[in-house]
Amino acid sequence: MLHLRVICPPERTEEVLGALEAECGATHIVVSRGIAIDPRGDVVQADVARESANDVIVAMQDLGIPEHGAVTLVPVETVLSAAARKAEHDAPGDGAETVVWEELLSRTREESTLNGLFVAFLTIACLLAAIGVVTDSPVTIVGAMVVGPEFGPLAALSVALVRRDRKLRRRSILALVVAFPVAMGITLLATFVVKFFDWMDVTTLESLHQVDFIYKVGPISFVVALLAGSAGMLALISAKSAALVGVFISVTTVPAAGFAVVAAANGEWRIAGLSSLQLAVNMLGIVTACTLVLWFKTRADEEFAAALKGISGLIGDEKAR
């Protein structure tokens, strides 16, 4: 379940209470009048089944609460309550499969923000990937995959495409087109330093056998990216973050960037080009899969809501007779 806290102007309190009482998935409704200081007003709290969260948020938005007060939703790990069990039972749908859109937008917006931390993580990942290439070490490559934060803006771009959110789309694209060149540029400088001190024993990258899969792009690369992107988006919308680790070590976005840099520094432009193509294929596959998963999920939810409305109408007609 989710815990809802609403700060609202006193003249809106009864409407907020009415909206919550009308929602079968809301329970444990509490009102504290006049205790909110900034913004001033009343505080209404409730526990809401995930299946009903989107309807509750829409109701609060229709009442103008975000403009004149605040709406906060946080996950509740443990609830011991017969009323809560009833609310989850009565709410239509399955909580584990419900996409709480504002929650997803908030999470992807945060993970797609271009800042120093994002660039630092991506740079460290690219450096690890370059070291993995130079040392022909698959373990180091896997480490680079896990450290890389690039899935955040790729997932955010998919959410922006489905929700037609231009601001989020610009934010995610900016994070990618700025952070990757910066990270690869720093990695290129580091590679030249390694070559200057003769710490790089690889005369040609063609001789590598443990990590050569990175630049060997093909149809399977796109299939893996599609599968990983699908799993990643499903993990996001179901809040099963443990599955994201498997996503990170399935695709070769950051390793491809690191391989391209090392190949360019070594003057092996064919491999650099193939690695860059691998990077593009993986990004395209992830965004495509994430977008399709969200689109199908949205359509499925709409069809379920329409079917439920039709069933309710039939029941109402039978009762009227």
pLDDT of residue 231: 87
Query: What's phi and psi for 26, nearest 5 deg?
Result: -110, 140
pLDDT in tens, the chain (321 residues): 899 999 999 999 999 999 999 999 999 999 999 999 999 999 999 999 988 888 999 999 999 999 999 999 998 888 899 999 999 888 877 666 677 878 888 878 888 889 999 999 999 999 999 999 888 888 999 999 989 899 889 999 999 999 888 999 999 999 999 999 999 999 999 999 888 887 776 666 777 788 888 888 889 999 999 998 998 888 888 756 555 666 666 678 999 999 999 999 888 999 999 999 999 999 999 999 999 998 888 776 665 555 555 554 544 544 445
Q: Does one domain contain both 180 and 119?
A: yes
pTM, two decimal places: 0.78
Q: Does one domain contain both 177 and 47?
A: no
User: Where among 67, 97, 127 does a domain terminate?
Assistant: 97
Q: Does one domain contain both 89 and 183?
A: no
Distances (CA, A) of 135 to 128, 131, 169: 10, 6, 37
In a domain, 316, yes or no: no
Query: What's phi and psi for 43, nearest 5 deg?
Result: -115, 125
Q: Does one domain contain both 157 and 60?
A: no
DSSP 40: E
The model's pLDDT over 272-319, given as tens digits with 9 standing for 90+, comes to 999 999 999 999 999 999 999 988 887 766 655 555 555 545 445 444
In a domain, 308, yes or no: no
Task: Give strand pairing partners of 71.
Answer: 6
In a domain, 309, yes or no: no
In a domain, 57, yes or no: yes
Query: What's phi and psi for 264, nearest 5 deg?
Result: -65, -40
Q: Does one domain contain both 110 and 93?
A: no
Distance in angstroms (rounded) separating the CA atoms of residues 94 and 308: 13
User: Where among 97, 114, 139 does a domain terminate?
Assistant: 97
User: Where among 97, 119, 140 does a domain terminate?
Assistant: 97
Q: Does one domain contain both 150 and 71?
A: no
Distances (CA, A) of 68 to 101, 213, 265: 21, 55, 56
Distances (CA, A) of 13 to 10, 37, 64, 65: 5, 15, 12, 10
Q: Does one domain contain both 184 and 41?
A: no
In a domain, 129, yes or no: yes
Q: Does one domain contain both 108 and 89?
A: no
Q: Which uninterrupted H or E stretch holds 45?
A: strand 40-48
State the residue range of the domain holding 241.
102-302
Q: Does one domain contain both 259 and 148?
A: yes
CATH of the domain at 79: 3.30.70.120
In a domain, 59, yes or no: yes
Q: Does one domain contain both 58 and 19?
A: yes
In a domain, 7, yes or no: yes
In a domain, 179, yes or no: yes
Q: Does one domain contain both 106 and 93?
A: no
Number of domains composing the chain: 2
Distance in angstroms (rounded) separating the CA atoms of residues 211 and 190: 20
pLDDT of residue 252: 84
Q: Does one domain contain both 139 and 245?
A: yes
> Do residues 167 and 299 lie in contact, with contact meaning Cβ atoms separated by under 8 Å?
no
